Amino acid sequence: MPPKIIIENLIKIYGKKHLAALKLFREGKTRDYILQSTGNVLGLADISLEINQGEIFVLMGLSGSGKSTLARCINRLIHPTSGHIYIDDEDVAHANETRMREIRLNKVSMVFQRFGLFPHKTVVENVEYGLKVRGVERINRRQKALETLEVVGLDKWADYKPTSLSGGMQQRVGLARALATDAEILLMDEAFSALDPLTRGEMQDELLRLQKELHKTIVFISHDIQEALKLGDRIAVMKDGAIVQLGTPEELVTNPKNDYVKAFIEEVNSAQVITVGSIISKRVSLKIGQYSVSSALEQMLNQNLQVMYVVDEYNKPIGLVKKQRLEESLKQREEDTTVTMETDFPIVDSYTHLEDIFDLYKKGFPLAVVNHKKEFQGMVDAVDVLTSLGQPNRNSN
């Protein structure tokens, strides 16, 4: 599936001497030099990236890093100085204003930090506003608005004014308004940062729940690393208008590229981010019916293992055997491995976070790790978990 959004060599310069500043930037001058020489600010410094259809892509960084500028270039609330922004292969960076209004009405919706609700309109009137601007008939837009309010759990509040609602509920209304237009792309600019911590967490959970159902392409702007790691399929960390690292939450936590990124993830609980599948140490297994006790034991000795998992013809784990039990069976001249196989064993999906697996080690066995098809991927011992959590971050010089 092709990317939903492709950004190529995007540059934004604020100021009246943007052509002179652009020339200096292309000559390799720094942001500070350009500011001192021209009085212009380099907002985006040659950004190129792709955003996949159906992913939550987080732009994060400190204030002034360029994250909001980049998001607003996507729907052309800010005009880029140079470069291209392709949405479904259409270069919106160079589309005329008439076409951009159509795109904002039909393809790209925005959810703002401060809700942006009309206080004199009811909740349902706020939600149907985008449809009204589009020219949808009243009965149809009202039905769509009510359906969307039901999706976010606010259908009973349809006839109330926004001032009657809590901050979290008001943000749900803002989210419903964006969803009601059936836009394929949502831009969410610090959408939850005005909320208290408890409500903010609830809204993050709500967004993840909705995303499982709706599969929107979401560009989410945040300055909070915990929020970015929780929500993002991928995260672009920005500084001074440039992307300093782009990767999955796990990649950022385990392999920060520089001190700037390392400072963000310093206080992060890595057990909440690192997945089981990334620390698999042993991928060998025994296929049922293909190994005798002696050959299974030989395999375990060669791999220096005390335990091995047994899989069926579909590569799905069905049990495990212990080296000690195999040695005892061999002494008794028993060659059937199924006699020694234990079928009560811990199993976990590869995408499970480490903090969710500690209780599974109570039986004393390494975990059998499976993919989404429940096929055996390997096993993870307790020492693998402790080692991964104890490792210092790499490439952080």
Measured at the CA of 124, the angle between CA 121 and CA 125, to 5 degrees, comes to 40
Question: What does the pLDDT profile of the chain (397 residues) look like in tens digits?
Answer: 899 999 999 999 999 998 999 999 999 999 999 999 999 999 999 999 999 999 999 999 999 999 999 999 999 999 999 999 999 999 999 999 999 999 998 899 988 776 678 899 999 999 999 889 888 899 999 999 999 999 888 999 999 999 899 888 888 898 898 888 889 999 998 888 878 888 889 889 989 998 998 899 999 999 999 999 999 999 999 999 999 999 999 999 989 999 999 999 888 888 889 999 989 978 888 888 787 888 888 888 888 888 999 999 999 999 999 888 888 887 777 667 677 788 999 999 999 999 999 888 887 889 999 999 999 999 998 888 888 887 544 443 3
Alpha carbon separation from 139 to 109, 125, 143 (Å, rounded): 22, 12, 6
Q: Where in the chain is the domain with CATH 3.40.50.300?
A: 54-271
pLDDT tens string 15-35: 999 899 999 999 999 999 999
**CA dist., res. 396 & res. 376, Å (int):** 34
Phi, psi of 371, deg, nearest 5: -90, -170
Q: Does CATH place domain 54-271 in 3.40.50.300?
A: yes
72 SS3 class: helix
Q: Does CATH place domain 277-389 in 3.10.580.10?
A: yes
Q: What is the amino acid identity at position 245? A: Q
327 SS3 class: helix
Q: Show the DSSP H helices in 91-224 as ranges.
A: 97-106, 123-127, 129-134, 138-151, 167-180, 197-214
**CA dist., res. 156 & res. 148, Å (int):** 12
**CA dist., res. 170 & res. 164, Å (int):** 9
Predicted pLDDT of residue 394: 43
118, two tokens: 């009309």
Predicted pLDDT of residue 115: 65
**CA dist., res. 61 & res. 38, Å (int):** 25
Predicted pLDDT of residue 396: 39
Predicted pLDDT of residue 335: 67
pLDDT tens string 287-329: 887 878 888 888 888 888 889 999 999 999 999 998 888 888 8
* Per-residue b or e along 133-156, where b marks 16 or more CB atoms closer than 10 Å to that residue's CB: eeebeeeebbebbbebbebbebbe
Q: Where in the chain is the domain with CATH 3.10.580.10?
A: 277-389
Predicted pLDDT of residue 266: 87
Q: What is the amino acid identity at position 141? A: R
Question: Count of H helices and E strands in the chain?
Answer: 15, 16
> pTM of the entire structure?
0.83
The answer to whether the beta carbons of residues 112 and 43 sit under 8 Å apart is no
249 SS3 class: helix
Measured at the CA of 57, the angle between CA 56 and CA 61, to 5 degrees, comes to 135
CB atoms within 10 A of CB 342: 14
Phi, psi of 156, deg, nearest 5: -75, -10
**CA dist., res. 171 & res. 189, Å (int):** 12
**CA dist., res. 334 & res. 219, Å (int):** 60
Paired with 317 in beta bridges are 311
Predicted pLDDT of residue 397: 39
**CA dist., res. 155 & res. 108, Å (int):** 24
Find the radius of gyration of the CA atoms of the chain. 27
Predicted pLDDT of residue 395: 43
Paired with 242 in beta bridges are 239
**CA dist., res. 394 & res. 81, Å (int):** 36
- Is residue 392 classed exposed, middle or buried when 0-12, 13-18 and 19+ CB atoms within 10 A define those classes? exposed
Alpha carbon separation from 393 to 247, 253, 313, 389 (Å, rounded): 15, 7, 40, 10
